[in-house]
Amino acid sequence: MKREGTMKREGEIMILLVLVIGILINGCVQEKMEVTTTSTISAPTIPLTTITTSTTGTTTTVVSNLGVGLSLSTDKETYRSNELMNITVTINSSSKLSDVNVRVYGINARHYRLDKTEKMDLNVGTNTVTFSYKTPRCYGCAGITPGIYQINADLSYNNNVIASTTVDVEIKQ
């Protein structure tokens, strides 16, 4: 009888051991799953708070939560057909940002006639980018009609537009 009781106890111990091993293995698998799940990182979204001020020929948009100010200006307010336009984008930054895209686009007549992008790293302080653009003709089937056109500038960081501004220019024949 003692032998039978010992065997029963050994069987119970074996069952207990199997259960403990099962719990330990299950805990390790769950722990590994948690580590895998928490290692997934999504890109942060950047909330935008903008304050806009205007002056003659230049509009400045400030994105206050990133400490970035953007201004756009042209060397003149009025251009003739096929004239060289110099466009300056000035970025004031309170922090250093890498791989920022500065896009200048505008003069929309069925499509943007002007569309240029420059990738750069921002330093703390004033950063400047200058674009040169030859204005389109104001006559013929390939030209545009004389008038007022918008030039836009966007500043993008991590695929998010963090600042933008617009200035109007006149193009005459």
Strands 78-80 and 97-108: unpaired
Summarize the confidence of residues 143-155 as an average pLDDT: 90
State yes or no: pLDDT of 165 exceeds 70: yes
Count other C-beta atoms under 10 Å from residue 108's C-beta.
14
Q: Which CATH class is domain 50-172?
A: mainly beta
Question: Locate tokens 């909330």: which residue?
Answer: 47
Domain chopping of the chain, boundaries: 1-41, 50-172
The DSSP result for 41-68, as a single string, is -PPPP----EEEEEETTEEEEEETTTTE
CB contact set of 130 (below 8 Å; sequence gap of 6+): 86, 87, 88, 89
91-111: per-residue pLDDT in tens? 999 999 999 999 999 988 777
How much is the pTM?
0.65
